[in-house]
Amino acid sequence: MTKLIDAHCHLQDERILPRLPDVIERAREAGVERMICCGTREKDWDAVLRLKEQYPGIIFPAFGLHPWYVKDRSSGWLNTLRGFLEAVPSAVGEIGLDHALENFNEAEQTEIFGTQLELAREHGRPVVIHCRRAWEALAGILERTGPLEHGGIIHSYSGPAELIPGLMKFGLSFSFSGSVTRAGNRRARKALGAVPPDRLLAETDSPDILPEGMDGVNEPANLVRVVKEIAALRGFSEEEAARVTSENARKIFFTAE
């Protein structure tokens, strides 16, 4: 099978970091060539950068302020984030909107997300977007801010299939995780079928979203299972699913290297 690219994971997570050498070894043995490691808040951006330096050519970093952590940001968060983007080829992420949180501040989420989209434009970087129960709001922000010249992905896409053409016009692609291996997840499976091959990526979102029937902490080696499921659901061969998802990830993330 073509070497795979995990389009979204969090290797800095405390559930993975203490055993990271073994995790990386298992990923490589499984055919996972590269991993997009996404920061989520100020206190983990340094860890993501260290992982990139520890595993050059394997871990590709992304730095962003996740909607779960907007309330924890410091007054200097934006300058700090800009510094990371200027220091190393990278993406802006994980950023986005989450209206499923209790007591969330929609205006605050919108402002922080919009600011980071502008930062991505300023530095010519792709974005990695998280969206949960905020699809109308996401579309509205993108309508106001315009297309993303350097593209990006909506990770672990969970929105309606009907939204995909409208989101594509902003330069976005769609990544699918272990959630599509769950037979009852009809919405994600329907969405998977609506994505054109040139906008399709695969991810683990490790250490979360284990493929169905697997136990323990999720890790990039399990990307093989996700790709096999994509192949089955789309009527691709496993080789074709591997090639398509990996080529799309390379086009989005690795042009800056």
User: What tokens were used for 202?
Assistant: 């695969």
Place 222 in a pLDDT band, splitting at 50, 70 and 90: very high
Place 255 in a pLDDT band, splitting at 50, 70 and 90: confident
Q: Which residue has the tokens 């205006």?
A: 107
pLDDT number for residue 239: 98
CA angle (132 as vertex; 63, 232 as ends), nearest 5:
90
pLDDT in tens, 162-202: 999 999 999 999 999 999 999 999 999 999 999 999 999 99
Residue 158 vs residues 62, 100, 118, 185, 186: alpha-carbon distances, Å = 21, 13, 24, 9, 10
Chain-wide mean pLDDT for the chain? 97
* CATH code that applies to domain 4-253: 3.20.20.140
pLDDT in tens, 26-66: 999 999 999 999 999 999 999 999 999 999 999 999 999 99
Place 256 in a pLDDT band, splitting at 50, 70 and 90: low
Question: Phi and psi of 43, rounded to 5°?
Answer: -75, -5
Percent of the chain with pLDDT strictly greater than 90? 98
CB 203 within 8 A of CB 226: yes
pLDDT number for residue 109: 97
The helix-helix angle for 106-123 and 77-87 (nearest 10°) equals 30
pLDDT number for residue 1: 76
pLDDT number for residue 84: 98
pLDDT in tens, 107-151: 999 999 999 999 999 999 999 999 999 999 999 999 999 999 999
CA angle (158 as vertex; 157, 164 as ends), nearest 5:
65
Q: What would the mean pLDDT of 236-245 be, rounded to a whole number? A: 98
